[in-house]
Amino acid sequence: MPATSNTASLSQRLASAPADWHRDALAELDGASVLVTGGTGSFGRRFVETILTAARPRRVIIFSRDEFKQYEMQQHLGPEWGSRLRFFIGDVRDRERLEMAMRDVDLCVHAAALKHVPAAEYNPMECIHTNVYGAENVVRAALNTGVRKVVALSTDKAANPINLYGASKLASDKIFIAANNLTGSLGTRFSVVRYGNVVGSRGSVLPFFRKLIDDGAQTLPITDARMTRFWITLQHGVEFVISSFALMQGGEIFVPKIPSMRIVDMARAMAPHLPHRVVGIRPGEKLHEVMITEDDSRQTFELADRYVIEPAFTFWSHESYEKLGARPVPDGFRYASDTNTDWLDADRLTALLAGTP
């Protein structure tokens, strides 16, 4: 997607939103030095494109392991951003390299992770080293260099995890939340954004179905006819992270209100002429995803576009959220893909694929 294609929609949506934090979201980035771990991934690329065209960051640092992806990203963005962009080859497993990259950084988005569920099951220590020890390294590097705010990307699989990837991201979430207890006079704040499957991202079922259809498949494989998932567009995820920087106090888990869809309905919407073939659930896979558990409901409140799971900190204050109309969710509330009140149909799925807000 061209770097300028989302500028108007982002600015208009954030500027016209009813809550004050949206109006301050882009201003949070103006003049700031921003670092993105995993910056050459799907999220990182879109996030960098968005903030370069919709805000005025002083410097944007892409921190990732793959020099060829960095080269491709640099070519895609073009030379006009050269004075603001920095490409750092490095791994979140390497704390010294992280500290070098984070010098004079104001805001950090932690998007680096090993995300493939079966690969994590087969290579558990690699998953732990990147997702758990990597989270610790980001926290320590941010504290040692005086980064102002850190937002870490999580996943719906971190709530009641049944696979190692989800468990590692739950551990990562706990590390970032607890890091707020270590900041002292530094003032560094850490928060987490947790959302569902990204429409069209690498590894999601949608491009998999699309490839099968394009290759002339006679059937589409369905793991289970009952399976549901949360869905969010890449641009919505980027905008949600930007708004979270402006809203965060430190220690929150932000969960967007997003729609669900049955996998079988997605298959029918994409290829109504093809029959389905049930292949069974893969190891470590759930029938339905949960983003807020019943136990979390006691610490969760609701805003217009999101839920916020608050931390159990003595410094925590409801006041700023109460001004935005926050209200507690009912005790026993559960935000799950099968009990969601917002559902995608074929038309809305088509609109999402077309990039419609």
Closest CA to 148 of 44, 63, 33: 33
Closest CA to 334 of 304, 287, 298, 310: 298
* DSSP per-residue letters across 130-190: IIIIHHHHHHHHHHHHT-SEEEEE--GGGSS--SHHHHHHHHHHHHHHHGGGS-GGG--EE
- Contact residues for 81 (Cβ-Cβ < 8 A; gap 6+): 52, 60
> CA 53, 55, 59, 63 torsion: positive or negative?
negative
Structure tokens at 162: 């049944």
CA atoms within a 13 Å half-sphere pointing along the CA-CB vector of 117:
18
Amino acid at 290: V
Query: What three-state secondary structure class fits 216?
Result: coil
157 is catalytic: yes
Rg (alpha carbons) of the chain, rounded to whole number: 20
Look at the block and give the residue holding tokens 């950084």.
Answer: 105
Longest dimension (CA), the chain: 63
Active-site residue, selected from the candidate residues 69, 115, 149, 157: 157
| Catalytic positions, written as ranges | 157
